[in-house]
A and B are shown apart, each in its own frame.
Chain A
Amino acid sequence: MNNLIFLVPLLPLIGFLINGLGRKSLSKQVIAIIGSGSILGSFILSVLLFLQVKSTGTTIVANYFNFIEVGNLTIPFAFQIDQLSSLFLLIITGIGFLIHVYSASYMHDEENQHYGRYFAYLNLFVFSMLLLVMGANYVIMFIGWEGVGLCSYLLIGFWFKNDSYNYAAKKAFIMNRIGDLGFLLAVFYLINKLGTVTYVDVFANVSKLSSQDITIITALLFVGAMGKSAQLPLYTWLPDAMAGPTPVSALIHAATMVTAGIYMIARSNILYTMAPGTQGFIAVVGLVTALFAATIALKQNDIKKVLAYSTVSQLGYMFLGLGVGAYTGAVFHVMTHAFFKALLFLGAGSVIHAMHHEQDIRKMGGLKKFMPITNITFLLGCLAIAGVPPFSGFFSKDEILAAAFEKNPILYYLGVAGALMTTFYMFRLYAMTFLGKFRGTHDQEHHLHESPSAITFPLIVLAILATVGGFIGIPEVFARESHWLEHYLSPIFAGSTALVEAHAVNHSQELLMMGVVTALVLVTIVFAWNKFSKYEATATEETGLGKVLANKWYVDELYDAVIVNPLNAFSGFLKNVIEKSVIDGAVSGVGRLVNYSSRQLRLVQSGQVGGYILMMVLSMIVVILLWINDATIIRFISKIF
């Protein structure tokens, strides 16, 4: 089994090459089979690896060759399969496969070569993501990290004929680049201090680092995570990334790529546990992002925008979990979130498909009777994200919130407020889309239909996972030793748990908190359900806070004013003033100088023989004076006289 590890990322790469090179000659069916089949192969291998890791509990490090070898620094090209990476492998390849199947139907209207291009990008993405997760050191992780950023850019701008989509793609790329700089600096810092980037060596030698070093490294790594996982203040690219095809949003911008930051921090958990300052910062950033994005989602009318802000918000929860030391909880939430958010996005894609690319929920409504499977799966997804027991979101979110409560009750109360907002906007979305009566045109109503089985199959699978996925992490309150995931991941976080003294909230209090939160969530659901199932399109403008929220707190405008416009003005200054007068001036100045001086020098050539001779005499005198040094002349003269 161990010698097949390299096949896991290699299969998608082969798929990428075949689809990318053969996109004009292969038929759509072949492209879809190659695209999905390569991921299915990876998935099967991942399951085998997972089972092996689960039964033996050992970490496999597969060394292939030395990627970089300079002086004392050796960076091997190696893969590390342990509990954490095998879990992520399952998520990536499993959900990746479902989304490939879904895409085969969803993208069927595209031209043949664009269809091939789409699957090539998607396979390349899965390859990069697998590299990111499987790499045994930070450099291999960084390769994957950049690869997923590239694929994200390519897929957001997939419909490149639309300018605004291209802008969204560029925005995502540049925002990610800011974060990547932090990641890169952290890697350099590690190399400088420890001379290695391999996880095993780094974590074994953390004691050699001063606490200041650890704080700097963790903070820089977190800047990378901020960009990739869309945290404040670098989150604005994620909502705009919804310009890409919906399955892309589901795979890259909900289930996998954006969780790379969480994976990275969970991977480096020992470093973070030793840097409490950074941890506190992460908790605050995560919580603020969770609340901030949730408030924006309350007022969005684009079905994908609501889900995008919801993703930002849920990522905030994951960082809150990491910040308060609940690494298992964060990874657990990554997993459940991957299930239900992919489900919701794919459901939204199904709706958009049926509505002929209409995304405004004000023009939907009453889709329940036209699309029964999409309706029921979407509802399950909403229940899961809202955290209604026993759906998966309940367990993972509860675990994070409980850990937050242990750290600081204020974090807990704010987290609960965010969770209630999540419930509200998700059920607003559900009610406006599926309940009430249809508000679109008659033409649209006539064409409404349930999506084909390639679309509904992934929905059903994900709905089942979103429903039962939480049972791998049942809290200790309900049964002893029931938290399977914590047990499974314990070797990864062993270093951190050893450093932090465990103190659990007593069980009665935890049960009480769960009960209260669940009751509040249910009340919110009923409220939102009643309010928005009778939604009527009105022409009234939003006012006050509602307007601010509908305009996303004017953050994009703020960034435009503070960063983009000054930068544009500065570029304009460089282009019009510096370039034109300084650079061009210097170049043409040299030309003019040569021209002028040659014009002047020409006058020396007067044609007067006397002038030439004078010049000759003078220059001979100069040569003689230069040639014979002073002492010689003085000696000569003194000898004469």
Chain B
Amino acid sequence: MPIQYYIFLALALFTIGIVGVLTRRNAIIIFMCVELMLNATNLLLVAFSKMHHGLAYASDKASLVGIDGQLFVFFIMVVAAAEVSVGLAIIVMMYRNTHSVDINFLNRLKN
């Protein structure tokens, strides 16, 4: 499959993530949109890694070119998992205090 398809998909996912973060007020949805963006990046990393490795593999079977991209994705997933646990914990605390997950309630520091 040509690389362009992956790029367009990742762009679409990332844009949806950004628009979601900008427009929604529900903290959980914003959180999910952030995950979406992370995953869009992951998708790109994997796609490019596969592309570069495929080209190098054709000439040299022992080549390691491009596989670090896939390694990187694992790190991102681990970090994202940790982040999710912290983020959800914050949202739970927020709900306990305000009985809402609307981020517009979170302007108490103003003034």
- The answer to whether A608 and B4 have CB atoms under 8 Å apart is no
> Is B103's beta carbon under 8 Å from chain A?
yes
> Is B52's beta carbon under 8 Å from chain A?
no
Q: How far is the CA of A641 from the CA of B25 in the complex (A)?
A: 36
Q: How far is the CA of A87 from the CA of B25 in the complex (A)?
A: 104
Q: Which residue of B lies closest to A611 (CB)?
A: B22
> Is A607's beta carbon under 8 Å from chain B?
yes
Q: How far is the CA of A163 from the CA of B70 in the complex (A)?
A: 96
- The answer to whether B22 and A617 have CB atoms under 8 Å apart is yes
Which residues of B in the span 10-56 have a Cβ within 8 Å of any Cβ on A?
A: 18, 21-23, 25
> Is B106's beta carbon under 8 Å from chain A?
yes
Chain A residues with Cβ under 8 A from B21's Cβ?
Answer: 613
Chain B residues with Cβ under 8 A from A607's Cβ?
Answer: 107, 109-110
Q: Which residue of A lies closest to B109 (CB)?
A: A607
- The answer to whether A617 and B103 have CB atoms under 8 Å apart is no
- The answer to whether A640 and B104 have CB atoms under 8 Å apart is no
Query: Could you say which of A608, A617, A640, A641 contacts B18, with CB atoms under 8 Å apart?
Result: A617
- The answer to whether A610 and B103 have CB atoms under 8 Å apart is yes
- The answer to whether B110 and A610 have CB atoms under 8 Å apart is no
Q: How far is the CA of A104 from the CA of B110 in the complex (A)?
A: 84
Chain B residues with Cβ under 8 A from A641's Cβ?
Answer: 4
- The answer to whether A610 and B25 have CB atoms under 8 Å apart is yes
> Is A609's beta carbon under 8 Å from chain B?
yes
Interface residues on A, range: 10 to 19
- The answer to whether B103 and A609 have CB atoms under 8 Å apart is yes
Given A640-B4, A640-B7, answer yes or no on A608-B107 (Cβ-Cβ < 8 Å).
yes
User: Chain B nearest CB: distance from A406 CB in Å?
Assistant: 99
- The answer to whether B22 and A613 have CB atoms under 8 Å apart is yes
- Residue pairs across A and B with CB atoms within 8 Å: the count is 25
Chain B residues with Cβ under 8 A from A562's Cβ?
Answer: none
User: Chain B nearest CB: distance from A621 CB in Å?
Assistant: 10
Given A640-B4, A640-B7, answer yes or no on A610-B22 (Cβ-Cβ < 8 Å).
yes
Q: Which residue of A lies closest to B19 (CB)?
A: A617
Chain B residues with Cβ under 8 A from A608's Cβ?
Answer: 104, 107
Q: How far is the CA of A291 from the CA of B72 in the complex (A)?
A: 107
The proximity string for B residues 61-89 relative to A, scoring 1 for CB distances below 8 Å and 0 otherwise, is 00000000000000000000000000000
Chain A residues with Cβ under 8 A from B7's Cβ?
Answer: 640
Chain B residues with Cβ under 8 A from A614's Cβ?
Answer: 22
| Interface pairs A-B: 4 shortest CB-CB | A607-B110, A607-B107, A609-B103, A614-B22
B-binding residues in A (CB < 8 A): 605-610, 613-614, 617, 640-641
A-binding residues in B (CB < 8 A): 4, 7, 18, 21-23, 25, 103-104, 106-107, 109-110
- What would 25 A/B residue contacts be, using CB atoms closer than 8 Å? A605-B110, A606-B107, A606-B110, A607-B107, A607-B109, A607-B110, A608-B104, A608-B107, A609-B103, A609-B104, A609-B106, A609-B107, A610-B22, A610-B23, A610-B25, A610-B103, A610-B104, A613-B21, A613-B22, A614-B22, A617-B18, A617-B22, A640-B4, A640-B7, A641-B4
Known pairs A609-B106, A640-B7; list 17 more (Cβ under 8 Å): A606-B107, A606-B110, A607-B107, A607-B109, A607-B110, A608-B107, A609-B103, A610-B23, A610-B25, A610-B104, A613-B21, A613-B22, A614-B22, A617-B18, A617-B22, A640-B4, A641-B4
